[in-house]
Amino acid sequence: MTQDELKQKVAQAAMAYVQGVPVIGVGTGSTVKYFINYLAEMKSQIEGTVSSSEGTTKLLKEAGIPVLDLNDAGIIEVYVDGADEINPNKQLIKGGGAALTREKIIAAASKKFVCIADGSKRVDVLGSFPLPIEVIPMARSNVARAMEELGGRPVWRESCVTDNGNHIVDVHGLHITDPVKMEQTINNITGVVAVGIFAMRPADICLVSDGEQIITF
């Protein structure tokens, strides 16, 4: 199976978790794109969705699926999103698509976070995927220096301005053995808006497509 077929397969498996759920949180990325296609098939049963990016909002609206403001939606029953890396504790690296801040907000506001990914995203230790950090633009160099002190190699994602008008620094070379501690440490650097470690609020359920099989943990 190709990676796209694996993404599609796991997106379909996520549909079992959103049956009868009135308001669904929707993440960002190529795996979620397939999920939105499946959601469109059951849109008459959905009251609304809360979107994690302008890109996802566009796709949802094009599919005729209502999009609500999180402030009006209240607590979200289920949030479905992809990941760049998943460790055995369901802790994640996210933000490859630069939507990490809104993704983190929706994850925090959700009762159940269902993470969907193809098997290539599973790792024992987070950090091979460069860690995205959303920063206030004027703080970029300062955050980069702080990340060098933590042993990383920060690279400015130059072509990228986030939906919130901020910059992304991707930090290479980290070996994140204590994701909660690293998340807290990076959160404390002045100028950081959000770091793409989802450890303090990990996924609740991970669905991973591995060939014909869906692994759930």
Nearest CB to ligand 5RP, comparing residues 93 and 139: 93
Nearest Cα to Cα of residue 133 among 107, 106, 172, 159: 172
149 is catalytic: no
Name the residues that contact ligand 5RP, by CB under 6 A.
27-31, 81-84, 94-100, 103
Nearest CB to ligand 5RP, comparing residues 105 and 142: 105
Least distance to ligand 5RP from the beta carbon of 54, Å?
12
Nearest CB to ligand 5RP, comparing residues 142 and 157: 157
Q: Which of 5, 62, 77, 103 is catalytic?
A: 103
Would you call 172 exposed, middle or buried from its count of C-beta atoms within 10 A (0-12, 13-18, 19+)?
Answer: middle
Distance CA 30, CA 60 (A): 14
Distance CA 167, CA 134 (A): 6
Least distance to ligand 5RP from the beta carbon of 32, Å?
6
Neighbouring-strand partners of residue 92: 86, 198
Least distance to ligand 5RP from the beta carbon of 121, Å?
7
* Catalytic (active-site) positions: 103
